[in-house]
Structure 1
């Protein structure tokens, strides 16, 4: 029984001196983050495929059971829309190979314009993917959430290849107007996604966006605490990613979420204690 928790990134300016020592070389920051959380969203791979050397450094800084959920490059999902992508996909898969089992799932985030009429394209793409990886799909077209037939169509395709459907729960964030600069910026950029609480596989993945105020973030995730506890009792191994508009305390909040689930499922093993963070000195 295992619950993995994480954030949208492994380094953030506000974490310096709190999550990791400061100053700290960029190539060592993941090691400190991995002592706080045991999963991370691979958002950077959406913008550029990393070199194998970079990925090797990620593997060296993390344990084999650390979970990377890596987003496929936008050239595959958004620009070519899953068609004629053999070469960029080959390059991407070769680059992430050093992660081994740490590459928990390859994340296929589709644009909001990807509609139920395009599901056949997704089905062909998924059937051609190597079975050496797990796959998870995130859709944003409202029809997948508002129309039962469209949801059933997508679920059928995903179930056919053992892929997961990643929900991005922004309901708590959009419940009340923004009150900070970070919230106002997120208000214009984040999708207004209905909450979906169905896991298709034995390893569900959830993305949750709270508020900058801790109490609002914690209040908003109570639904997920219960759902996650239920998944664990069923023998599943979920991953929860906690976001806030400023992400200033995201690692601490992710650990708090794990603690709240563990209070309901006592047999869940506690997260290890983070690495000590002490100021570096000249002596």
Structure 2
């Protein structure tokens, strides 16, 4: 996600053309969740524009299409996967992971389908799997089974941490909506690979979001000291402050590890008194 109605004019220059928005986002953050790919595989031209707008070390975590994960549940998906990977080819070197987000009904009984699917993914791609079935978190046997399958494929388990969201009753319309849609699962912070990926969902109140990510500061710093290369995405129910919050998390990590590379300087906004032009 690199566009949001509340970002232009506040974090990003207003009135950017579609082919410039990702480039502006990439001056704020060095990684992005490619969520739109779940709903439709983009054209190759579109993906080529993503490559043009981002530096070589930018990280894309692209979600696999809905027909692959939710409709066919990873079975008989060679054709849609081939079409998807052909479209993604322009950013193959920047695809940090293929994000395999599975439906909440995908449980331990289907782990075999996941194992077979992961064996067929080209080795040039890294996979990161997000599960939402409660059994993987409550049943030790199910959790270990999933870890073995992921470990065999060199794939990561993506935690979606919603504990801050559910720590207190919702206080905004966006939070109330998130309460009805987001999974309520325990926090999980065990990395399986050298490239752990975390999805963190806080609250619309900044102080609650910051308080909720404290455990992740310790975890991310420890991973970096172990030589891992983690990626953490910060969300809130309305996502209005997500860019600023992501940079704040990065700054808090750098305060503990000054050797960590800084994020790029954000693209400057036009001065308020700058005249508008048509061309």
Quickly name the TM-score band, shorter chain normalised.
over 0.9
1:202 is aligned to: 194
1:60 is aligned to: 52
Question: Structure 1 stretches (4+) deviating beyond 4 angstroms?
Answer: none
Q: Are 1:107 and 2:99 an aligned pair?
A: yes
Q: Are 1:130 and 2:129 an aligned pair?
A: no
Q: Are 1:77 and 2:69 an aligned pair?
A: yes
2:172 to 174, 177, 180: 180
1:281 is aligned to: 275
Matches within 5 A, 1:191-230: 191-230=183-222
Note the C-alpha offset of 1:20: 1.4
* CA distance in 1 between partners of 2:108 and 2:13 (Å): 47
* CA distance in 2 between partners of 1:18 and 1:278 (Å): 10
TM-score, normalised via structure 1 length? 0.96
Q: How many residues align?
A: 275
1:26 is aligned to: 18
Deviation string 1:43-83 (CA, Å, 9 cap, x unpaired) is 10000000000000001000011011000001000000111
2:182 is aligned to: 190
1:47 is aligned to: 39
1:268 is aligned to: 260
- Which secondary structure does the structure 1 equivalent of 2:217 belong to? helix
Note the C-alpha offset of 1:210: 0.1
Note the C-alpha offset of 1:102: 1.2
Note the C-alpha offset of 1:281: 2.8
2:86 to 94, 102, 127: 94
* CA distance in 2 between partners of 1:159 and 1:34 (Å): 31
- Which secondary structure does the structure 2 equivalent of 1:14 belong to? coil
Deviation string 1:231-252 (CA, Å, 9 cap, x unpaired) is 0000110000000000001000
Segment drifting more, 244-253 vs 15-24: 15-24
* CA distance in 1 between partners of 2:26 and 2:34 (Å): 14
TM-score, normalised via structure 2 length? 0.97
- Which secondary structure does the structure 1 equivalent of 2:27 belong to? helix
1:143 is aligned to: 135
* CA distance in 2 between partners of 1:124 and 1:269 (Å): 38
Q: Which consecutive unaligned segments of at least 5 residues does structure 1 have?
A: 1-8
* CA distance in 1 between partners of 2:275 and 2:63 (Å): 38
Which structure is richer in relative contact order (CA contacts within 8 A, separation 6 or more)? 1
- Which secondary structure does the structure 2 equivalent of 1:88 belong to? helix
Note the C-alpha offset of 1:194: 1.0
| Contact 1:168-1:209 at 8 Å conserved across structures | yes
| Contact 1:77-1:111 at 8 Å conserved across structures | yes
* CA distance in 2 between partners of 1:282 and 1:173 (Å): 41
* CA distance in 1 between partners of 2:139 and 2:177 (Å): 30
Note the C-alpha offset of 1:264: 1.2
Note the C-alpha offset of 1:222: 0.3
* CA distance in 2 between partners of 1:22 and 1:115 (Å): 44
Deviation string 1:72-114 (CA, Å, 9 cap, x unpaired) is 0010000001111110000000000001311110010111111
1:234 is aligned to: 226
